[in-house]
Amino acid sequence: MDSSSATMAVRAASSSFSSSSSTLFSISPKLNPTTKPTLFKIHTHKPRIIKTLKCIHSPTRRNGSQFSCSAVTFSPLQTTDLVPSKLQRLVAEFQSFPEPIDRVKRLLQYASLLPKFDDSSRVDSNRVMGCTAQVWLAASLDKEGRMRFAADSDSEITRGFCYCLVSILDGAAPEEVLTMKTDDLEALNVGLPGGQRSRANTWHNVLISMQKKTRALMAEREGKPPFEPFPSLIVTADGIHAKGSYAEAQATYLSPDEIKVQQLVNVLKEKKIGVVAHFYMDPEVQGVLTAAQKQWPHIHISDSLVMADSAVKMAQSGCKFITVLGVDFMSENVRAILDQAGFSEVGVYRMSNERISCSLADAASGPSYMSYLESASKASPSLHVVYINTSLETKAFAHELVPTITCTSSNVVQTILQAFTQVPDLQVWYGPDSYMGANIAELFLQMTKMTDEEIAEIHPQHNRDSIKSLLPRLHYYQDGTCIVHHLFGHEVVEKINEMYSDAFLTAHFEVPGEMFSLTMEAKKRGMGVVGSTQNILDFIKQRVQEALDRNVSDHLQFVLGTESGMVTSIVAAVRSLLNSSQNGAKVKVEIVFPVSSDSMTSTSSNSSSDPESIKTGDVILPVIPGVASGEGCSIHGGCASCPYMKMNSLSSLFKVCNHLPDESNILASYEAERFKCQTPNGKEIADVGCEPILHMRQFQALKKLPEKLINHILQSQGSGR
């Protein structure tokens, strides 16, 4: 293979492995260019075999180096300390080539030496998750208790990766396989210089698959029960398959009752009612709404930010009423934004005559949060960045204490970074979500270890020095959490690491630090996303589309690191992609719920055959997903389902819609509150509370904080407020 041919091969195979900015794919040879490759010992199944490598010659390079041939010794009876020594020799061999093209040629050479893979092992259970190319890995334990691996791929580059890993770990003790890390392979320095990150890291995914199979075989040998997987939904072009009772309950409502759908469409059309709902709605409600969208366009399911925007568009299109399916601060925001937009005559209705609370909104409305803001008001200059998931009253009271801008989980990082660039010596006070605040601080700490070029990709006006200088001036509230995202702590992360570290990981910015760090690591490899519910949905859609474009059989596995109600929108989006593609039949998409299969709420009914069952249409369910008594934040407690969001029932939606217009005042307790009281400074709460939201809208449009807010910050400086 000449140099130009090799270059073409490299380009053609570039999508099968990552060209990330890590040292794994940097160009930094540590050995003298003329250093000859050292011998490299690996194991096979036979006691003692000698093979001679066929040389792949290349034209003499400027430094005069060529590929050299070496003998490869196979021996399964070596002592265990040969694993690190084999790795060291392989590293030395690859580092002896100063040119990236030569290292890739050697990888292609090793690809040709990978033993033939048994066709019977090309099954889904042996597919390596997350690789752009198709990769298969088979594993077994021999009589001596050592691991045996075989691998194959439809990509030559990936075959070379597989050969290297198999050569190091085949014949190793299980403990050695489990202790090896991707970082140990960085010094091989094999890959493409420059360029963008690709969709997978082959080194990582094949190694993780080796370790997963090793753990399973060890458990089987020791007589332990097999690992219990999390419940999941598998979506294909042909339908949906549920694994585990939790997933079965979720799947039940994905094909809604057509009679209920038509009844809802009829009343919405007749009375010109718009519906805005959060992604976290109950699956039954979302199933009906998703189906009704096809006949009535004024139904929108989204995150909390877009709900108010959608309500304004519905009012502009002639809707006379807006029904809000969410917690109370969402209906408050919709009411206030409609008033600001000049649609005060449009009625806004909640789905309960009781308060629909939110743990985060409650955390920001107590005296502890006000005390936090009092401290912020004494520092100067200060900016309060408040999460949108708070009440209008909180936003108003906060804004009078400290200049305030609202943020979402998708724009909070950019908001804070931009604020630091516009106001010298600024103090930023974020709240109320403690996990998100800690995650932001951790992200900025990680940025101090990046290059200035990498930091500029996140925000063009920052570098390592500016990030280091802002860290002491970033503060976050320490006592506010979402009861749903609190679930994703150590217990869940431990199991994800054990069973799903080769899957695509998704995490809301509100998750605890353990889940955040794990998903951020996956994000670096193109295997994860951290952000808002919309960011999560977009990431899944993008990865599914990429799999369809590859036109190969594939199984994509996504761990859902947020509220389980999100699954309805995910399934709808995935099914749309699969059904609209000619290659859809080849792709399976699995959505994993990181909760115990028994994270259920038992319900009683009139069923004489089973007192622990309910009837939904013609289907009898023994349990439904959710939180028992509104409590139980653990892997077994079901907190992946928000008890407050589930107060938005389908029956409530029908009740509200059927009574509109409310001439008899039956729905008075359902009407969204329009604040008539005033702030301590004598201003209307609705007016002051909307200002932080409008500041955010201007920031999103202009990519910088509005002058009005900057002036407010500077005027407050030194006032002692």
Query: Which residues are identified as catalytic?
Result: 131
Q: How many CA atoms lie within 13 A of 323 on its CB side?
A: 28
Q: How many CA atoms lie within 13 A of 92 on its CB side?
A: 13
Which of helix, strand or coil describes residue 244? coil
CA distance linking residue 625 with residue 76, whole number of Å: 50
Looking at residue 37, the DSSP 8-state letter turns out to be: P
Pairing, β 49-52 against β 71-74: antiparallel
CA distance linking residue 19 with residue 14, whole number of Å: 8
Question: Does residue 102 contact residue 139 with C-beta atoms inside 8 Å?
Answer: no
Non-local (6+) Cβ contacts of 491 within 8 A are 634, 635
* CB under 8 A, 24+ apart: contacts of 5-11: 6/58, 6/101, 6/104, 6/105, 6/108, 7/101, 9/104, 9/108, 9/156, 9/157, 10/101, 10/104, 10/157, 10/192
CA distance linking residue 397 with residue 394, whole number of Å: 5
Residue 516 burial class via C-beta count within 10 angstroms: exposed 0-12, middle 13-18, buried 19 and up: buried
In whole angstroms, how far apart are CA 653 and each of 249, 302, 352, 635?
Answer: 21, 17, 9, 31
For residue 76, cis peptide bond before it (omega within 30 degrees of 0): no
CA distance linking residue 8 with residue 295, whole number of Å: 51
In whole angstroms, how far apart are CA 515 and each of 270, 505, 718?
Answer: 46, 9, 40
Question: Does residue 336 contact residue 344 with C-beta atoms inside 8 Å?
Answer: no
CA distance linking residue 511 with residue 517, whole number of Å: 10
CA distance linking residue 263 with residue 271, whole number of Å: 13
Q: What's at 357, amino acid-wise?
A: S
Q: Among 497, 495, 516, 491, which Cα is nearest to 506's?
A: 516
CA distance linking residue 637 with residue 223, whole number of Å: 28
In whole angstroms, how far apart are CA 55 and each of 67, 109, 110, 342?
Answer: 7, 8, 10, 77
CA distance linking residue 599 with residue 624, whole number of Å: 9
Q: What does the block give as tokens for 352? A: 């309960």
Question: Does residue 336 contact residue 395 with C-beta atoms inside 8 Å?
Answer: no
